[in-house]
Amino acid sequence: MNEPIILGIESSCDDTSAAIIRGNAILSNIAANQTIHQEYGGVVPELASRAHQQNIIPVVEKSFTKANIQQKDISAIGFTRGPGLLGSLLVGTSFAKSLAMSLDVPLIEVNHLQAHILCHFIEDANPMPPKFPFLCLTVSGGHTMIVLVKDYFDMEIIGKTIDDAAGEAFDKIGKIMDLDYPAGPIIDKLAKLGDENAFTFGKPKLENYDYSFSGIKTSVLYFLQKQLKENPNFIKENVENLCASVQKTIVDVLMKKLEKAAKDYDVKEVAIAGGVSANSGLRNAMQKNVEKLGWNVYIPKFEYTTDNAAMIAMVAKLKFERGEFTDLRTSATARYDM
């Protein structure tokens, strides 16, 4: 039997992406990033959906060209139904429904957060995929959670943020320090040149496996306000040490709960996913636990960390095998439980 060829479409936030998968192998993974949001210091939903409308046809066309696949070869279309920005999701959902109808192929709805976790099963994501059960720290600008993954579609959220996501904390702290948006990658880059023990910031003391990042942001804000009164150039003169210290604080908080969960659930298979899984501090902390705690660690390729359609296509392929299709009555949803 020939392996199914599936088109995946992702439009949950500000990246328009299309990918084609055959089996578990990605044949193309194309993304159009939206730079317009940088001048506003964050994603503007109305501008995001307009940009998706401009990008989606060229991105899908390019994914077919790069994969050397024709539209008639497609077995099904997978799309992000949610969670995300409703206006952005509507563009991808409407396009996927229209194309599926015109090609007369099945439609498969995908949960964006499940897709981040299941990207680990893409053929070239890791040397080996994780074994069930495994823990996955899913961490991005919009979400931060620890998920116990018992099977492909049997997932339990055992801890999550009660306020800001980790990526959001990076961006908001970056804004306080007058860094460009998105600040996460800039902080990561500057942190490599600084002393991570130069400054200490308050950490939350929550029970169980839940996270909180708003307190860290406030701690940095008050610290900087105090220092700037004494030296107006404090941030400029200490930016590398500040970035290193902020990154260490956020990574320490993330890892402490993940380590507690792994110990309590007696799990050695541990993965990270989502945009913040590209952070070098977090990746290094994960690698250290291979020796320190005997973990088998799964860190996705950089192209599968940010929002991408390859992970959507991967989930669609798994659902295709199970015969889990949706019909044209489906609609985008900003909130979508795993």
* Residue numbers belonging to the annotated binding site for Fe cation: 112, 116, 307
Taking every pair of Cα atoms in the chain, the longest distance, rounded to a whole number of angstroms, is 72
The candidate with the shortest Cα–Cα distance to 63, out of 26, 101, 14, 11, is 26
Indicate the length of the chain as a whole number.
338
Binding residues for substrate: 138-142, 171, 184, 188, 279
Tell me the backbone φ, ψ of residue 179, rounded to 5 degrees.
-90, 160
Distant-in-sequence, close-in-space partners of 136: CB < 8 Å, separation ≥ 6: 117, 120, 130, 146, 147, 149, 270, 271, 272, 273
Q: How far apart are CA 288 and CA 265, in angstroms?
A: 20
| Chain position carrying tokens 């107006």 | 232
Using CB atoms within 10 Å of the CB of residue 238, give its burial: 0 to 12 exposed, 13 to 18 middle, 19+ buried.
Answer: buried
Using CB atoms within 10 Å of the CB of residue 176, give its burial: 0 to 12 exposed, 13 to 18 middle, 19+ buried.
Answer: middle
Question: 157 has which bridge partners?
Answer: 147
Q: How far apart are CA 242 and CA 228, in angstroms?
A: 13
Structure tokens at 167: 């990526």
Beta strands in 152-295 (DSSP E): 154-160, 269-273
Tell me the backbone φ, ψ of residue 17, rounded to 5 degrees.
-140, 145
Question: 160 has which bridge partners?
Answer: 145
Alpha-helical segments (H) within 68-203 = 86-103, 112-118, 166-176, 183-191
Helix (H, G, I), strand (E, B) or coil at 249: helix
Binding residues: 112, 116, 138-142, 171, 184, 188, 279, 307
Tell me the backbone φ, ψ of residue 218, rounded to 5 degrees.
-65, -40
